[in-house]
């Protein structure tokens, strides 16, 4: 099988997930990296054995290389648009971190340009590659839960309660939104992945810690993005959902939970109980009217970076998110922001 020579743009924390996935795959090769911060670039290069000539301070140099087949874009949100656009113009298939842009207009332009130039894309909605989430989707689509009535979701972290400085994730200029874009984008995508399209929503969001120390300073700056975001939604016009997103939830590291209830059964997906589901779907599993834990069959296991290779080479299973999904996600994020700013329901 062919090998894709990968470039990774942005070498901060999330890039480690991409790079480790590249190194796990027999079909991907880590060929070059780029970062605007030289110390971070050199640290990443040394950590993963990238030769000095393959370390670039200018991402455009990396994209211009004919020996780079595809790229992962792992930068902060505010430069997603410009780098993804440049990747498209260079004809490089790309895997883009979420959210894909700072607003719907930027996301739409990326979607349209990728379609026009026929450049393949994936958005890193990484929970689509959790076996339990894929199995939940299968059970729902096979009708084991009957007609879906409700979906409830939580995505909770606690790092905001600590003495975290005013990092880029807490700045609207650099992130676009707070917990909503950081965590809520995943929950929005999981909802679409499992049960369908959000058609209406309303939201309450706010800031709990309004001022934080500037990095490396005793001075304080203003937090201008949400610490929490709680929204209700109607999905496919008839499914009712409620969702809780926060990075101020005490003692939660990376807590994610989705409950789906239908006319004939229910299921519970929990990230912390990886590779299992709790279900109550009657005679299919020989038990009724109680929830019990079941293991996920091996055919539902998937790897994000291997799935990127398969998408680029035309062997994908159709379950990966593309820039189209990223656009819909960003459009919904913008609708949620409109809702909590205007304190109203918004129709998509």
Quick: pLDDT tens for 2-37. 899 999 999 999 999 999 999 999 999 999 999 999
Q: What is the per-residue pLDDT for 281? A: 87
Cβ neighbours of residue 82 closer than 8 Å, sequence gap 6 or more: none
Contact 278, 270 (CB under 8 A): yes
Q: What is the per-residue pLDDT for 289? A: 75
Domain 4-126 is found in CATH 3.40.50.300 = no
Q: What is the per-residue pLDDT for 113? A: 98
140: which 2 tokens? Answer: 């729902």
CA-to-CA distance for 333 and 339, rounded, in angstroms? 10
- What value, to the nearest 5°, has the Cα angle with vertex 286 and ends 284 and 290? 95
Q: What is the per-residue pLDDT for 231? A: 98
Q: What is the per-residue pLDDT for 290? A: 84
Q: Which CATH class is domain 130-301+321-347?
A: alpha beta
Per-residue pLDDT tens for 55-66?
Answer: 999 999 999 999
CA dihedral 55→56→57→60, nearest 10 degrees, is -160
pLDDT average, residue stretch 156-171: 94
Q: In the predicted model, is pLDDT for residue 287 greater than 90?
A: no
Q: What is the per-residue pLDDT for 326? A: 98
212: which 2 tokens? Answer: 């934080």
122 forms beta bridges with: 95
pLDDT band per the 50, 70, 90 thresholds, residue 92? very high
pLDDT band per the 50, 70, 90 thresholds, residue 172? very high
For the chain, give the secondary structure using H, E and C. Answer: CCCEEEEEECCCCCHHHHHHHHHHCCCEEEEEEECCCHHHHHHHHHHHCCCHHHEECCHHHHHHCCCCCEEEECCCHHHHHHHHHHHHHCCCCEEECCCCCCCHHHHHHHHHHHHHHCCCEEECCHHHHCHHHHHHHHHHHCCCCCCEEEEEEEEECCHHHCCCCCCHHHCHHHHCCCHHHHHHHHHHHHHHHHCCCEEEEEEEEECCCCEEECCCCCCEEECCCCCEEEEEEEECCCEEEEEEEECCCCCCCCEEEEEEEECCCEEEEEHHHCCEEEEECHHHHCCCCCCEEEECCHHHCCCHHHHHHHHHCCCCCCCCCCHHHHHHHHHHHHHHHHHHHHCCCEEC
Per-residue pLDDT tens for 314-340?
Answer: 999 999 999 999 999 999 999 999 999
- All CATH 3.40.50.720 domain ranges in the chain, comma separated: 4-126
Q: In the predicted model, is pLDDT for residue 1 greater than 70?
A: no
pLDDT, mean over the chain: 96
219: which 2 tokens? Answer: 């001075």
Contact 11, 33 (CB under 8 A): yes
pLDDT average, residue stretch 124-141: 98
Q: What percent of the chain has pLDDT over 70?
A: 98
Per-residue pLDDT tens for 216-232?
Answer: 999 999 999 999 999 99
Residue with tokens 């719907």: 104
75: which 2 tokens? Answer: 């930068």
- The upper half-sphere exposure of residue 301, i.e. CA atoms within 13 Å in the direction of its Cβ, equals 8
Q: What percent of the chain has pLDDT over 90?
A: 95
Q: What is the per-residue pLDDT for 26? A: 96
- All CATH 3.30.360.10 domain ranges in the chain, comma separated: 130-301+321-347
Q: Which range has the worst mean pLDDT, 4-13, 117-126, 156-165, 239-248?
A: 156-165
Q: What is the per-residue pLDDT for 285? A: 58
Residue 209, class by beta-carbon neighbours within 10 Å (0-12 exposed, 13-18 middle, 19+ buried)? middle
Q: What is the per-residue pLDDT for 286? A: 53
Q: What is the pTM of this model?
A: 0.96
Higher pLDDT, 333 or 288: 333
pLDDT average, residue stretch 150-168: 95
């Amino acid at each position: 099988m062919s090998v894709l020579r990968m470039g990774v743009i942005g070498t901060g924390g999330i890039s480690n997930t991409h790079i480790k996935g590249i190194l796990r795959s027999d079909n991907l090769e880590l060929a070059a990296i780029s970062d605007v911060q030289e110390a971070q670039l050199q640290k990443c290069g040394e950590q993963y054995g990238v030769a000095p000539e393959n370390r670039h301070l200018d991402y455009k140099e990396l994209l211009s290389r004919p020996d780079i087949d595809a790229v992962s874009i792992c930068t902060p949100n505010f430069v997603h648009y410009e780098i993804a656009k440049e990747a498209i113009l260079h004809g490089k298939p790309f895997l883009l971190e979420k959210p894909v842009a700072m607003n719907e207009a930027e996301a739409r332009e990326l979607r349209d340009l990728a379609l026009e130039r026929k450049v393949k894309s994936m958005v890193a909605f990484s929970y689509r590659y959790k076996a339990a989430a894929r199995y939940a989707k299968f059970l729902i689509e096979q009708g084991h839960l009957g007609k879906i009535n409700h979906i409830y979701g939580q995505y909770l972290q606690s790092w905001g309660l600590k003495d975290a400085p005013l990092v880029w994730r807490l700045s609207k200029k650099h992130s676009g939104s707070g917990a909503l874009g950081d965590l809520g984008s995943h929950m929005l995508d999981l909802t679409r992945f499992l049960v369908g399209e959000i058609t209406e929503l309303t939201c309450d969001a706010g800031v709990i810690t309004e001022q934080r120390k500037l990095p490396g300073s005793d001075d304080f700056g203003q937090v201008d993005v949400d610490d929490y975001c709680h929204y209700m939604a109607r999905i496919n016009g008839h499914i009712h959902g409620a969702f809780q997103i926060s990075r101020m939830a005490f003692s939660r590291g990376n807590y994610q939970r989705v409950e789906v209830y239908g006319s004939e059964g229910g299921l519970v997906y929990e990230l912390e109980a990886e590779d299992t589901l709790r279900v109550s779907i009657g005679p299919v599993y020989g038990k009724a009217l109680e929830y019990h834990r079941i293991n996920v069959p091996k055919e539902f296991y998937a790897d994000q970076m291997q799935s990127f290779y398969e998408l680029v080479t035309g062997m994908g299973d159709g379950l990966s998110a593309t820039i189209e999904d990223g656009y819909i996600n960003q459009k919904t994020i913008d609708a949620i922001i409109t809702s909590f700013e205007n304190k109203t329901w918004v129709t998509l």
